Amino acid sequence: MQKIAIVLGTRPEIIKMSPVIRECAKQNLNYFILHTGQHYSYNLDKIFFEQLKLPEAKYNLDVGSGTHGAQTGTILREIEKVLIQEKPDVVLVEGDTNTVLAGALAATKLHIKVGHVEAGLRSYDRKMPEEINRVLADHCSDYLFAPTEKSRQILLGEGIPAERIVVTGNTIVDAVYQNLSISEGRTSPLHELELVPGDYFLVTAHRQENVDVKARFEGIIKGLERVAGAFSLPIIYPIHPRSRKMMDRFGLKSAGIKFIDPVDYLSFLQLESKAKLVLTDSGGVQEETCVLKVPCVTLRDNTERPETLEVGSNVLAGTKAENILEATTEMLDRNVNWANPFGDGRAGERIVEILT
């Protein structure tokens, strides 16, 4: 039986790895979870594991924040120590974070096989650190778990051997179905916020290239105000402390947006599933809204989820106020009966089957 190391460091990675972890646990496989603490310490993420009913991480590196180089280097050094001690047969990473790059490099240099969940995504924007991470991780992986046929074609086009690539579907579909059913047994955030299902907009904006650039962040805020004015519906923005800090630094204010503290993932899933439309710069949210049949407006100039554009669940708006209003109006006129391009919700099973 192969020994599997599941390496993750951010909440989106925990969400997308949750179906794989559940399948490993269900089959009683020889595996362990290593949490790097790239975004939050494991102590802060413990509640996240508990809410999703996931087993605890065996290792907690608690690396914290820092520059990209310092953070990646620290994770690389610390993961290497664990891998030397544990001697897994395969290291599984998911997505495009510094944790993914460091985990893939550490394993490769120790001649341990690497499995990359969500391989083959490309924005073709090299200014995004995530783009560098995902390209490098793909090119040192032995198992490339492509979510869609489009991702597989991208990998083949980059010269990766066909026998390493498997189209599994995206674990986000499994995660949405599994975690939404867990969330329904909890208190509804809509009740607490006095929201009516289908009668509010939900916003997430946190990406460095948006919130660290005054003109872009200001464009997003003005665009949201125009949307609020045009449709007379509440706009709910669970704002990350860092985004709030940048708003203060740039002197940005808004009376038309309801800013709330960040909510836990299960509450967010409920808010997302019942929103009229979601405006976001998050890749995962573009996928989740597609699965949930909720229209999405992406506050970016490009996306590594082109499938959402093709099926009509999503549109790119950029960060100019007038474009945000125009894109929102366009999406609200669309039929929500698009096909889900991300698979049947059994990606986690397929990944584990290939590894065992």
Residue 260 structure tokens: 């709330």
The whole-angstrom separation of Cα 98 and Cα 39 is 10
Instruction: Clarify whether 35 is annotated catalytic.
Output: no
What count of other Cβ atoms lies within 10 Å of the Cβ of residue 352?
21
Give the burial class of 84: count Cβ atoms within 10 A of its Cβ; 0-12 exposed, 13-18 middle, 19 or more buried: exposed
Q: 109: alpha, beta or left, given left = phi > 0 and alpha = psi -120 to 50?
A: alpha
The whole-angstrom separation of Cα 228 and Cα 224 is 6
Residue from 96, 93, 94, 92 nearest 134 by CA: 96
**DSSP-based three-state secondary structure for 331:** helix
User: End-to-end alpha-carbon separation of the chain, Å?
Assistant: 7
The whole-angstrom separation of Cα 347 and Cα 245 is 38
Residue with tokens 């189209």: 167
The whole-angstrom separation of Cα 39 and Cα 46 is 13
Q: Which of 116, 139, 206, 240 is catalytic?
A: 206
What count of other Cβ atoms lies within 10 Å of the Cβ of residue 20?
28
**DSSP-based three-state secondary structure for 33:** strand
How many CA atoms lie less than 13 Å away from 276 in the CB half-sphere? 19
> What residue type is assigned to position 5 of the chain?
A
The whole-angstrom separation of Cα 306 and Cα 283 is 10
Give the burial class of 118: count Cβ atoms within 10 A of its Cβ; 0-12 exposed, 13-18 middle, 19 or more buried: buried
What are the two backbone dihedrals, phi and then psi, of residue 259, each rounded to the nearest 5 degrees?
A: -80, 130
Residue 159 structure tokens: 């010269």
CA angle 317, 323, 324 (to 5 degrees): 65
List the catalytic residues: 206
